[in-house]
Amino acid sequence: MTAYLITNVSVVGAEPTDLLIRDGVVAAVGSGLTAPDATVVDGTGLVALPGLVDLHTHLREPGREDAETVESGSRAAALGGYTAVCAMANTSPVADTAGVVEQVWRLGREANLVDVQPIGAVTVGLAGEQLAELGAMADSAARVRIFSDDGHCVADPKLMRRALEYVKAFDGIIAQHAEEPRLTEGAQMHEGEVSTRLGLIGWPAVAEEAIIARDVLLAEHVGSRLHVCHVSTAGSVEVLRQAKARGVRVTAEVTPHHLLLTDVKAETYDPVYKVNPPLRTATDVAALRAALADGVIDVIATDHAPHAVEDKECEWAYARPGMLGLETALSIALDVLGPEWDLIAERMSRTPARIAGLTGHGVDPAPGVPANLTLIDPAARRTIEPTELASRSRNTPYARMTLPGRIVATFLRGEPTVLDGKAVK
Ligand SMILES: NC(=O)N[C@@H](CC(=O)O)C(=O)O
Ligand SMILES: [Zn+2]
Ligand SMILES: [Zn+2]
């Protein structure tokens, strides 16, 4: 195993120092380190963060390997500064059995670019009718702790209650895609001024808020852990704020795109902007940013949702919802939050690692900790070229935009997955 000496690097925004990585761990931290056998990485001007952790990634394998595979998505993640991702269950077949989650987990180990932690489905086939074999998935080699029907809402309150009760035994979490389906029938975008002007059926904010309100009450009633996926409205933030103040065990995520983009993008009719939940208003964006800063929203999660060209480059109404996120998330966070390194580490690494129970991730570089970390050049700017992304899909909403920050290197257990801004394998 090669040793690496990263010189003159700022660890989470602190004064520059040296980091020695050896045998999978951070062996030493301090100025003027020497290690003749180590490969030197000049960290001048760079910031080291604990490797980023994504609670919400769609890898599309098994079933839609044309859009993404565990390997291509893992490479995209590493290039984005991630060392661990949680893979959503809406694959084909659905990850609703021990067999499928073990397959995804094994593929992640084989690719060995990030740790891939499978999320299990809550209900069989995501159909919302019958609980999946949650216990078997928890006991499997994948050791699933987060369950989600993401893409669909667990709309039946009785089923949601049973799921919350069931996972309590092993301190599991239900991650909810909060969308009251009766309120979003035929919806194409956020319900508001822009949808009225464009004549498109809207997805009202209340369709999200009503489910979150219900679910925090259910989680409170049974004393279980709830996680709310892709929070997108100011009203949802208020519901969460009140629930947290009462001590409900709820955590929440926001996506980079909901922190930056608004429903005005739909005026282009470019389906790259079609996503669930939809892009909302500038008022919502401001509320989400404030909630991320004050902790009502715990983490930034990408909801990386690759889609093949034929599913995206078509008429708006026929396009699948979802956008890429892994390779641009850190840049968007930097753009939105500024160089608030401690906050970025908290929202993109430490807290998501803690929620998912991923030990060895989300820990700041210090002597003895697993060397899962990423190096960022905050002064660099880059223009996003969809064809240059490592993802098999191209549906980034940031095409041709110039964004701050560049991932220079990522290390997984002491081995580089990215060096000089390029994937190592
Ligand atoms: N976000 C999306 O618009 N799409 C996701 C599903 C989801 O996260 O709801 C997908 O799987 O494509
Ligand atoms: Zn979702
Ligand atoms: Zn999703």
Report which of 230, 232, 252 is spatially closest to residue 241, judged by C-alpha positions. 252
* Centroid of ligand 2 to alpha carbon of 1 (angstroms): 40
pTM metric for this prediction: 0.98
Res 209: pLDDT: 99
Q: Provide CATH 3.20.20.140 ranges for the chain.
A: 50-356
Can you tell me the distance from the alpha carbon of 3 to that of 414, in angstroms, rounded to the nearest whole number? 8
What whole-number distance in Å separates Cα of residue 357 and Cα of residue 336? Answer: 27
195-214: per-residue pLDDT in tens? 999 999 999 999 999 999 99
Q: Is 276 annotated as a binding residue?
A: yes
Task: For ligand 1, say whether the CB of 275 is within 6 Å of any of its atoms.
Answer: yes
Write down the pLDDT at residue 1.
79
Residues 249-252: contacts with CB within 8 Å, 24+ apart? 249/219, 249/223, 249/224, 249/225, 250/215, 250/216, 250/219, 250/225, 250/226, 251/173, 251/225, 251/226, 251/227, 251/298, 251/299, 251/351, 251/355, 252/227, 252/228, 252/296, 252/297, 252/298, 252/299
Question: Which pLDDT belongs to residue 211?
Answer: 99
Instruction: Return the pLDDT at 40.
Output: 98
Q: Which pLDDT score, from 0 to 100, does residue 204 have?
A: 98
What is the distance in A from the centroid of ligand 1 to the CA of 57? 9
- DSSP one-letter string for 329-368: HHHHHHHHH-S-HHHHHIIIIIHHHHHHT-TTSS--S-TT
ipTM, interface predicted TM-score of the complex: 0.99
pLDDT for 126 = 98
Residue 184: the pLDDT is: 98
From atom 7 of ligand 1, which residue's Cα is the shortest distance away?
151
Residues of the chain with CATH 2.30.40.10: 4-47+367-423
> Which residues are tagged catalytic?
303
Neighbours of ion ligand 2 (CB under 5 A): 150, 177
Query: Which tens digit of pLDDT belongs to each residue from 293-336?
Result: 999 999 999 999 999 999 999 999 999 999 999 999 999 999 99
Give the pLDDT score at 191.
98
For the stretch 184-194, pLDDT in tens is 999 999 999 99
Length of the chain: 425
Q: Is 361 labeled as ligand-binding?
A: no
pLDDT digits (tens, 9 = 90+) for 118-164: 999 999 999 999 999 999 999 999 999 999 999 999 999 999 999 99
Per-residue pLDDT tens over the stretch 76-126: 999 999 999 999 999 999 999 999 999 999 999 999 999 999 999 999 999
Any atom of ligand 1 within 6 Å of the Cβ of 321: yes
171 is in an annotated binding site: no
Phi then psi for residue 421, to 5 deg, are 75, 5
Candidate CATH numbers 3.40.640.10, 2.30.40.10, 3.30.70.120, 3.40.50.150; the one for domain 4-47+367-423: 2.30.40.10
pLDDT at 113: 98
Q: Which residues contact 346 (CB under 8 A, 6 or more apart)?
A: none
Q: Is the pLDDT of residue 39 over 90?
A: yes
What does the mean pLDDT of the chain come to?
98
Structural class in CATH, domain 50-356: alpha beta
